[in-house]
Amino acid sequence: MNTMSRMSFLGDGLTWLREATITVLGAGGGGSHLAQQVAHLGVGRLPLVDFDPLEDHNVNRVVGAGYKDVGELKAALLARRFGDLGTRIIPVPHKAEAREARRWIEQSDVVFGAVDGARSRNNIEGFCRAALVPYIDIGLRIHVAEDETTVQAIGGQIVTSVPGGPCLWCAEVVTEEALLLDRQEYLAGRPEQQVVSLNGILASQAVSSMLSLMTGYAPDFPVPAVVRYDGLTHTMKPDPYVKGPCPHYPLDAAGWRTVLPPRVAAA
């Protein structure tokens, strides 16, 4: 029995994993789960992008972090914590939209995003679509009533955004309203509700989607573009209504254009 014998069902996918560069954007509640799982898969390179230091209120959901680590850069901390799993983790202490991060995005075989806000998601997806890199985004929203104790809804999604396929706009994760709300919440300084267990569910499904998409171990069961999670009913289902081809990012619009065409209106 060798170190990968329990993953031999991936076949040639194991070789792909060993040579792959898989970038994780965000090393917080969702990103730490993603980084840990990707590191366990034994991939070639794992650039981990996050510019924030760990704060004490992060410890309850950043997997691999402890209170003694407060103050350390999250990307560097997780690179050290998960650095003995057969994956070369490269801490990239920059914002996900920074030029340094974008270079890694362009060199990646897959990018995972676990970032806050519609604006960042939108920008990152734009980079990935331009570079024809599959992008898998996770997001969680816990709606709490005015009394701040009653949970009204727990909604999450995993969007697998590939060239030509449905995008975050198609999935209505990014909308004009969400972009506006993003700014209002940022200005209000309102913290989003998060919990380690729900982040873990979404991250696990996202990594599973990546494995299926990139190694093709189950070709008769294609990866859904969008999987919705309902934390109140404890259910996760593919969204059958989000389909391609994507009107927002046509295949022939990939790459760098000096003069950008006007954005196509949402379908």
Partner 1 sequence: MIEAVLRFVAWLFGPSRPQAAPPVAAEPARYRLRIPRSVIHELREVTRPNRQRPEPLAFLRVRFASEDSRTVVVAVGVLPFPDEAYVEGPAGANFSTEWAIEVANAGIPGNVGLMLTHSHGGVGMPMFSGVDARTNRSIMAALAVGAETSPFGAVVLSETDARCVLAVASGLTDTRVIVVPDRFGELRVSA
CA distances 243 to 34, 106, 174, 230, 239, Å, are 26, 25, 16, 20, 9
CA distances 131 to 2, 174, 232, Å, are 36, 20, 37
Beta pairing class for 110-113 and 135-144: parallel
Report CA torsion sign: 79, 81, 84, 85. Answer: negative
CB of 180 to partner 1, least distance (A): 27
Are 128 and 101 in contact, with CB atoms under 8 Å apart? no
Residues 44-63 binding partner 1 (CB under 8 A) are none
The binder of partner 1 chosen from 91, 93, 163, 231 (CB under 8 A): 163
Contacts of 220 (CB under 8 A, 6+ apart): none
245 binds partner 1 (CB under 8 A): yes
106 binds partner 1 (CB under 8 A): yes
143 binds partner 1 (CB under 8 A): no
140 binds partner 1 (CB under 8 A): no
75 binds partner 1 (CB under 8 A): no
CB of 244 to partner 1, least distance (A): 4
Rg (CA), the chain: 18
CA dist., res. 3 & res. 99, Å (int): 36
Q: Is residue 45 classed as helix, strand or coil in its secondary structure? A: strand
111 binds partner 1 (CB under 8 A): no
Nearer to partner 1, 46 or 133 (CB): 133
236 binds partner 1 (CB under 8 A): no
241 binds partner 1 (CB under 8 A): yes
240 binds partner 1 (CB under 8 A): yes
43 binds partner 1 (CB under 8 A): no
41 binds partner 1 (CB under 8 A): no
130 binds partner 1 (CB under 8 A): yes
Beta pairing class for 22-25 and 110-113: parallel
The binder of partner 1 chosen from 50, 109, 137, 182 (CB under 8 A): 109
Per the DSSP assignment, residues forming a β-bridge with 73 are: 53
Nearer to partner 1, 170 or 198 (CB): 170
Are 23 and 112 in contact, with CB atoms under 8 Å apart? yes
Are 144 and 89 in contact, with CB atoms under 8 Å apart? no
Options 66-74, 79-87, 185-193, 246-254: segment touching partner 1 (CB under 8 A) = 246-254
CA dist., res. 30 & res. 58, Å (int): 11
251 binds partner 1 (CB under 8 A): yes
The binder of partner 1 chosen from 33, 102, 121, 248 (CB under 8 A): 102
The binder of partner 1 chosen from 13, 26, 224, 231 (CB under 8 A): 224
Q: Is residue 38 classed as helix, strand or coil in its secondary structure? A: helix
- Binding residues (CB under 8 A) for partner 1: these are 99, 102-103, 106-107, 109, 127, 130-134, 160, 162-166, 213-214, 216, 222-225, 238-246, 251-259
